[in-house]
């Protein structure tokens, strides 16, 4: 047992070492050492899934002075001199009047809710209260790499293997034997069975601190419970997240039609893979034409509109059908076409054709006719950490431990496939038609373009002395500057899962350092030396590393200001001028919305812009390639033009890293 004085010392210093969490993210091990598994589970961890949850540190409430200083630093890059001076005055006024008292109330409220973080409920509510359609505005997608065995890259075989692997993940999670998420700062020391056996002997109430002594940092897993049997239900004013763990069926969508079949038996065991395969095959072979009134399109509607339509559907006798959809383990969407162009693949997986994805489901697994697969997920319930763990586990298990094969005989009519039918009157049919028109107009207004770049990769960038993510963010800043001659509000998501109920914090990549680098690389002025360009890049990397560590430690400024603003709104008090300042609105009108998820299992990922005049920039830098997937709404923004500018930026930085000057003829 840890001695009390040692425990107190650990409590005082734990946040300092946690700063390493994002400095080397690839050390978050996914190679779990566990006891032998059986057919219904991925593995049987000797550590309970929730072993560390009770002792996770709480997200700190930042100091007001630090937050306001960082806020002004970020604002400086996007405001004119006059706008900035006015904002400084407003910040100083807030600091001298409303700010301190509001801070005290936020800290007091945080102390009253020690089971969670000060930002968790407001962040959930932010998603659930939004009345915007969730397609394009919120739901992202992540697509799987192809199965390395061409003969398994088949819609029926791959979907069956992925269904079974998904069920194994679900059962392993719910049995509390899924290996806990742990960031291993020194994998040789902690990512082994000895570490796990030692941790198992430490009580859950202090287990985090035991792992901390090994420089291993357990992560929050509270979001995982919403992965399966879950959905977002539209309600007037604020939606609801619902989970029904008792349901044993899968929802399948094809051509706008709905099907269901059980994938678990009455005792909760996974049905034989051949039975599941037969059920999928029956859906694939169903000759029903595309639904003339695909009700699924309602999930792409304005949330209040959809809430009204849902009540009408229930009044027409569709309550059981809706409950079956809502409670399904997850949704499998089978597409007949076989897109090969990456831009077409993005469209298929991000929004698809009207009514073919039930966007409210927490998790939708989509497979094309050629076996390309992706996850499209609703965002209110959780973030990329939980989805990526599921994604990686399913990808590996479906390949390493396939349960059906090209040689598998498909039983005829095994299982119990049921087609779900909606009862619609003429009014509801007309509503479907109106929603179809809106959906098609919206998705047709989206532009998509991509880049696969192989001149240099992650290992090359590291050897140059730069952080890979900082180089990618500098490429984004430089591309926008080259295209539009400006610096704008930029958002990069950073996980705060190092803390209990952590969600995300914002990294603000537009800095004084990136602005200076953009000017040196792009503007017409006396040609800078190669050394000057390299030093500018390194300065950007150093600054970005600091911002990333601060964000991961809960020491950004965005969530703190969001928490303060939300507290005022909840209490119904006067909103301070800081939050009505046009500069605050400008900083939160995100033009460059960026996100990266790194994994060898990922082929491509994407999302739409969060503002009509913005870009959605998904990117990754791996050991084999650099990838960008960019979306925009023309004519406000031009995605293909942005990709051209990103390419030029990457080329120019490569020249500098090679010791050459791209500015010289």
* Other Cβ atoms within 10 Å of 654 Cβ, number: 18
Interatomic CA distance for residues 335 and 118, integer angstroms: 42
In angstroms, the CA 614 to CA 637 distance is 7
- With beta carbons less than 8 A apart as the criterion, state whether 506 and 493 touch: yes
Strand ordering across the sheet containing 141-144: 418-420, 257-262, 249-254, 331-334, 363-367, 373-377, 141-144, 602-606
| Structure token pair of residue 199 | 């941790």
Tokens describing residue 204: 């859950």
Handedness of CA 543, 547, 549, 555 (dihedral sign): positive
The rounded distance, in Å, linking the Cα atoms of 160 and 153 is 11
Q: Tell me the pairing of strands 249-254 and 331-334.
A: parallel
Q: Which among 20, 43, 293, 379 is annotated as catalytic?
A: 379
Quick one: which of 136, 161, 135, 127 has its CA closest to 147?
Answer: 161
b/e burial code for range 548-560 (CB count within 10 A of at least 16 → b)? bbbbbbbbbbbbb
Task: Give the distance from CA 313 to its chain's centroid.
Answer: 31
Quote the CA–CA distance of 208 and 561 in Å, as a whole number.
29
CA angle in degrees (0–180, nearest 5) for 271-275-277: 115
For the question of residue 115 being annotated catalytic, the response is no
State whether residue 228 is helix, strand or coil.
coil
DSSP secondary structure letters along 179-207: PPPEEESSHHHHSSHHHHHHHHTS-GGGH
Largest CA distance in the chain: 76
Q: Please report where in the chains the tokens 């599921």 appear, as a residue.
A: 390
- The residues carrying an active-site annotation are 379
């Amino acid at each position: 047992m840890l001695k009390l004085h040692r425990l107190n010392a650990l409590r005082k210093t734990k946040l300092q070492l946690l700063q390493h969490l994002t400095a080397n993210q690839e050390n978050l091990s996914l190679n779990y050492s566990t006891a032998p598994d059986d057919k219904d589970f991925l593995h049987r961890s000797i550590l309970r899934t929730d072993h560390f949850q009770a002792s996770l540190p709480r997200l700190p409430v930042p100091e007001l002075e630090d937050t306001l200083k960082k806020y002004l630093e970020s604002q400086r890059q996007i405001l004119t001199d006059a706008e900035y001076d006015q904002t400084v005055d407003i910040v100083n006024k807030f600091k001298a009047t409303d700010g301190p008292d509001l801070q005290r109330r936020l800290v007091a409220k945080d102390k009253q809710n020690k089971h969670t973080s000060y930002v968790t409920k407001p962040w959930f509510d932010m998603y659930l209260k939004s009345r915007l359609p969730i397609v394009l505005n919120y739901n992202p997608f992540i697509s799987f790499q192809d199965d390395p065995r061409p003969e398994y890259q088949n819609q029926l075989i791959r979907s069956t293997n992925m269904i079974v692997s998904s069920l194994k993940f679900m059962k392993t999670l719910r049995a509390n034997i899924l290996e806990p998420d742990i960031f291993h700062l020194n994998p040789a020391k902690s990512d082994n069975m000895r570490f796990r056996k030692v941790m198992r002997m430490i009580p859950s109430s202090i287990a985090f601190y035991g792992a901390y002594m090994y420089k291993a940092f357990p992560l929050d897993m509270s979001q995982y419970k919403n992965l399966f049997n879950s959905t977002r239900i539209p309600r007037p004013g604020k939606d609801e997240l619902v989970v029904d763990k008792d349901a044993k069926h899968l929802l399948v969508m094809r051509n706008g039609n709905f099907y269901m079949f059980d994938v678990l038996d009455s005792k909760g065991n996974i049905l034989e893979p051949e039975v599941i395969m037969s059920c999928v095959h029956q859906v694939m072979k169903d000759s029903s034409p595309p639904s003339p009134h695909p009700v699924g399109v309602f999930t792409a509607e304005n949330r209040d509109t959809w809430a009204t339509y849902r009540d009408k559907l229930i009044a027409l006798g569709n309550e059981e059908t809706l409950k079956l959809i809502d409670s399904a383990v997850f949704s499998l969407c089978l597409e007949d076409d076989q897109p090969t162009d990456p831009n077409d693949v993005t469209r298929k997986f991000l929004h698809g054709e009207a009514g073919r994805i039930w966007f409210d489901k927490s998790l939708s697994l989509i497979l094309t006719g050629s076996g390309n697969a992706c996850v499209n997920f609703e965002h209110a319930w959780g973030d990329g950490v939980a989805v990526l763990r599921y994604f990686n586990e399913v990808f590996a298990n479906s390949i390493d431990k396939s349960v059906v094969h090209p040689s598998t005989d498909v039983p005829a009519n095994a299982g119990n496939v049921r087609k779900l039918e909606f009862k619609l009157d003429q009014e509801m049919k007309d509503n479907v038609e109106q929603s179809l028109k809106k959906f098609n107009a919206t998705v047709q207004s989206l532009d998509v373009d991509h880049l696969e770049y192989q001149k240099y990769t992650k290992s090359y960038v590291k050897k140059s002395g730069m952080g890979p993510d900082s180089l990618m963010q500098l490429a984004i800043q430089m591309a926008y500057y080259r295209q539009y001659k400006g610096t704008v509000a930029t958002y990069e998501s950073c996980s705060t899962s190092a803390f209990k109920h952590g969600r995300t914090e914002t990294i603000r990549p537009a800095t004084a350092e990136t602005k200076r680098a953009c000017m040196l690389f792009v503007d017409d002025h006396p040609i800078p030396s190669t050394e000057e360009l390299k030093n500018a890049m390194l300065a950007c990397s150093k600054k970005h590393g600091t911002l990333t560590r601060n964000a991961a430690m809960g020491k950004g400024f965005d969530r703190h200001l969001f928490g303060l603003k939300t507290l005022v709104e909840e209490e119904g008090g006067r909103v301070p001028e800081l939050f009505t300042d046009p500069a605050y609105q400008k900083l939160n009108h995100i033009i460059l919305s960026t996100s990266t998820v790194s994994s060898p299992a990922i082929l491509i990922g994407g999302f739409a812009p969060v503002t009509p005049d913005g870009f959605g920039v998904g990117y990754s830098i791996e050991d084999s390639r650099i990838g960008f997937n960019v979306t925009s709404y023309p004519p406000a923004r031009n995605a293909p033009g942005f990709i051209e500018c990103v390419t030029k930026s990457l080329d120019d930085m490569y020249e500098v890293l090679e010791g050459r000057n791209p500015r010289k003829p």
